[in-house]
Amino acid sequence: MRIVCVGGGPAGLYFSLLAKQHDHRHDITVFERSKAGSNFGWGVTIDPGFLGQLYSNDPESAGQVEQAACRWRKQYIHINGEQVTYDGDGDLYNFNRPDLVDILGARAQRLGVRIEYDHEVQSASQLPEADLIVAADGVNSRIRQENPNFGTDVWLSDDKYIWLGTDKVFDTFAYHFIRTDGGWLWASTYGVGSELSTFVVHTSAATWKAMGFDSMPIRDSLSFLSELFQDQLEGHRLMGQVGDEANTRWLSFRNVSNQRWHVGNIVLAGDAAHTTHFSAGEGTRLAIEDSIALAENVRRHDDLEVALKSYERQRRAEMRQTQNEARLSAQWFENLPRYIDLKPRQFGALVHARRSALLPLLPPRLFYHLNRASREIGILRQIRRRIGPLATALHQRRAPVPPPGGHE
């Protein structure tokens, strides 16, 4: 087939390299509006299960990603001068988004995919003739916007955030909650390389306005935030987008959904099809999983319409739980005053439990005690399962041996 991908981010690049792997006869071109090597963004989070998926689909690029990723397990929450530590069940990985895009782009090109950098596509009418057009051009997809048949719905969340970086290297993930006269701000921080970390600042719209960020130039905003988080930064600087400081700005999260993911031979993938609140840390994973499913369905079905319907049905079903959990995570932060007066250890526990559908329905302290009790019971059950056979063996070893005939 002749395939055109609009957007050279993780979704477009991963689909193109997988489709080329599945059938080298495909003629595939990716159009990316940025210049080569000028990709924006800071960090993405990868869990071990997702890394396993990458290895299953393309071991070469997966190995490069794992080798360059920052690995961590413990997570810290800093609030009211105290630190709460959470030790997760397994390692997680942080990776610099521009490096991820570079790895996937180079891998796709080695397989024979053409990438046209510095080539902005305003409309599908600009594209060459193709059997399949993959719109992976992000949350503001122009391919999607010009076609009302997708039935797109976009709404803004009731929050404000700014995605920054710093030259301080954080060796694990942490939340830092800061009280101000205008309300609470918090930053999530994590290393994405040997010299950089992501530093996302998040707050309510009311606090954002009360602090004057609505009328403050970005340069002044960075200086102000550097002062607020001076204990965390320890003299290091905050940075906007590398190479494009002017593109840094406060945002409200854009929630995107579509009634249809394909119209004719045009199909949506990644943020063009759906968005997932950044507090859940799942956006890049879901975008690449779209690519995996789309490439597999195109490989499996000779009829393109059948393939695209199957892809959409599969991904909607697979994403349902993750999307629900992401909405709960976003709502938890939007309702921060409900939890902020808890003791630090209780507050930290509820940060980690924020994806629970039960949490909004119960008083926070009651949920904390129920959650703690259930966890302790679970631990006791694990201990019983582990020591049960050992205790039985020890009991049998110590039991007196009856004399022959069964009589003492």
- Give, in degrees to the nearest 5, the angle at Cα 127 between 126 and 129: 130
Dist. CA 36–CA 16, nearest whole Å: 17
Positions in the chain short of pLDDT 70? 38-41, 89, 241-246, 378-408
CATH class, domain 160-247, is alpha beta
Instruction: Please provide the size of the chain in residues.
Output: 408
Thinking of the domain 2-68+93-155+256-332, which architecture would CATH place it in?
3-Layer(bba) Sandwich (3.50)
pLDDT of residue 90: 74
What is the residue whose two structure tokens read 């004719």?
A: 264
pLDDT of residue 302: 94
pLDDT of residue 399: 45
Amino acid letter, 399: A
Q: Note whether 279 and 355 are within 8 A (CB).
A: no
What contacts 401, CB < 8 A, 6 or more positions away?
A: none
Q: Strand 238-239 and strand 160-166: pairing?
A: antiparallel
Helix, strand, or coil (residue 339)? coil
Long-range contacts of 343-348 (CB under 8 A, 24+ apart): 344/77, 344/79, 344/80, 344/82, 344/84, 345/84, 347/77, 347/79, 347/84, 348/77, 348/79, 348/84, 348/86
Structure tokens at 3: 């395939």
Dist. CA 168–CA 236, nearest whole Å: 6
Domain ranges for the chain: 2-68+93-155+256-332, 160-247, 364-398
Residue 187: other Cβ atoms inside 10 A: 26
Q: Note whether 272 and 139 are within 8 A (CB).
A: yes
Helix, strand, or coil (residue 160)? strand
pTM for the full predicted model: 0.88
